[in-house]
Amino acid sequence: MTVRLQWPGRDDSPLDPSGRLDLVHDADAPHGTLLEGDNVAAMRALLSTHAGQVGLAYLDPPYMSGADYVHEGVRARAYGDRWADRGSYLDMLWPRLRLVHALLAPHGTLWVQVDHRASGLVQPLLDELFGPERLRNVIAWRRAPPLGRQVQSRQFPRNVDLLFAYAKGGGARWHPPVTRVPLPSRAARQDPATGRYFTLAPRGDYTDESVARLEAEGRIHRTPSGKVYVKYFVEQGEDGTLYKPRAVDALWDDVAPLRHAPPKERTGYPTQKPEPLLQRILEATSDPGDLVLDPFAGSGTTAIVAARLGRPFVAIDQSDVALATASTRLEAAGLRVRRERVAS
């Protein structure tokens, strides 16, 4: 059974390729392309040359916040996020999601980041496009600490963004990230022979065969009474702090809000996202060489992270303030960027 979100302006007419965009991303060519203009026109032009070729798409669209955003440095309006109603917001979003879907490669993954205002609309649209079985994750990222007015209001602070990740097909990239959490030093023991620190856990349901294999790897500890424990080695930081590896789950409260990013990362663009957020997304669900698309590029966070990780990028924005911010940022990072204007 297909569940469809219906609204008065819903338009499902075909979105055909229109115009043409050739991207050159080889060894001597630019690291990526910055397209200036409306992203529907840009993606329709890309469709004629790159349908089914995008390895990862990240969308950070307007959130239906009802606000106008101003660049904090140049004090110029960057973009507006005001909509007559939810229907007009969907009129904007639906064709763009359909175009991204058509551009994605069979192994590609789409990420869409919104907050509580649009998340309930975005998920049914993505379920319809990709199929609910292609939903890989809904990630909760704490984008700001609970402070100020947020704490005074008679509700829990609305400081979380949701990231929806959908795979286009069955063979989507997956490189599970691991993070590290500090460990009190009393929780670990030191191996007198190697000096390495480890924690201990009961053998649980490890078979005798597995215990023998772990023993050969130096990972078995036996108590004087003969009880078997498995050793888990931990890392030691330069300052001596011990860290335990931990699989990253769907709650991302370890990616610091932008306000805690180093000053040279902060561009003053009003809704800029932190580079570590994009780094986690790109490393987990794309490979070097995969084409990365960001149709709502803003200050160019996806582009700069993609280039740093060896992924060619196409970033699109219609705001002059966004394009100026992204260009300055990418040039300062020493990247070769091709800029092209797309006619609407």
Ligand X SMILES: C[S@@+](CC[C@H](N)C(=O)[O-])C[C@H]1O[C@@H](n2cnc3c(N)ncnc32)[C@H](O)[C@@H]1O
Stretch that binds ligand X, among 116-124, 140-148, 213-221, 310-318 (CB under 6 A): 310-318
CB of 210 to ligand X, least distance (A): 45
CA distance 55 to 288: 10
Stretch that binds ligand X, among 115-123, 140-148, 201-209, 271-279 (CB under 6 A): 271-279
Stretch that binds ligand X, among 116-124, 199-207, 210-218, 313-321 (CB under 6 A): 313-321
Residue 111, beta-bridge partner list:
58, 165
- Of 123 and 299, which has the nearer Cβ to ligand X? 299
Sign of torsion over alpha carbons 31, 36, 37, 41: negative
- Of 98 and 273, which has the nearer Cβ to ligand X? 273
Our finding on whether 254 is near ligand X (CB under 6 A) is no
Our finding on whether 280 is near ligand X (CB under 6 A) is no
**Could you give the count of Cα atoms lying within 13 Å of 105 in the half-sphere of its Cβ?**
18
Our finding on whether 296 is near ligand X (CB under 6 A) is yes
Q: Which residues, other chains included, contact 339 with Cβ-Cβ below 8 Å and sequence gap of 6+?
A: 33, 34, 35, 36, 323, 327
Footprint of ligand X on 79-98 (CB under 6 A)? 79
**Could you give the count of Cα atoms lying within 13 Å of 254 in the half-sphere of its Cβ?**
13
CA distance 76 to 180: 40
Q: Which residues, other chains included, contact 250 with Cβ-Cβ below 8 Å and sequence gap of 6+?
A: 137, 138, 139, 140
Our finding on whether 119 is near ligand X (CB under 6 A) is no
Sign of torsion over alpha carbons 244, 247, 253, 256: positive
- Of 123 and 319, which has the nearer Cβ to ligand X? 319
Please count the residues of this chain forming the interface with ligand X, following the rule CB under 6 A.
Answer: 18
CB of 40 to ligand X, least distance (A): 7
CB of 105 to ligand X, least distance (A): 22
Strands (DSSP E) found in the chain: 32-36, 54-59, 67-70, 77-81, 104-114, 135-142, 160-167, 178-183, 189-190, 197-202, 220-222, 228-233, 235-236, 242-247, 251-252, 291-294, 313-317, 337-341
Our finding on whether 313 is near ligand X (CB under 6 A) is no
- Of 140 and 261, which has the nearer Cβ to ligand X? 261
- Tell which one of 43, 100, 122, 316 touches ligand X (CB under 6 A): 316
- Of 115 and 215, which has the nearer Cβ to ligand X? 115
- Of 100 and 188, which has the nearer Cβ to ligand X? 100
Our finding on whether 60 is near ligand X (CB under 6 A) is yes
CA distance 163 to 114: 7
Our finding on whether 161 is near ligand X (CB under 6 A) is no
- Tell which one of 108, 291, 319, 329 touches ligand X (CB under 6 A): 319
Taking residue 312's Cβ as centre, other Cβ atoms within 10 Å add up to 22
Q: What tokens appear for 197 in the block?
A: 């620190």
Our finding on whether 33 is near ligand X (CB under 6 A) is no
Our finding on whether 62 is near ligand X (CB under 6 A) is yes
Residues that bind ligand X (CB under 6 A): 38-39, 60, 62, 79, 269, 271-273, 296, 298-299, 301, 316-319, 322
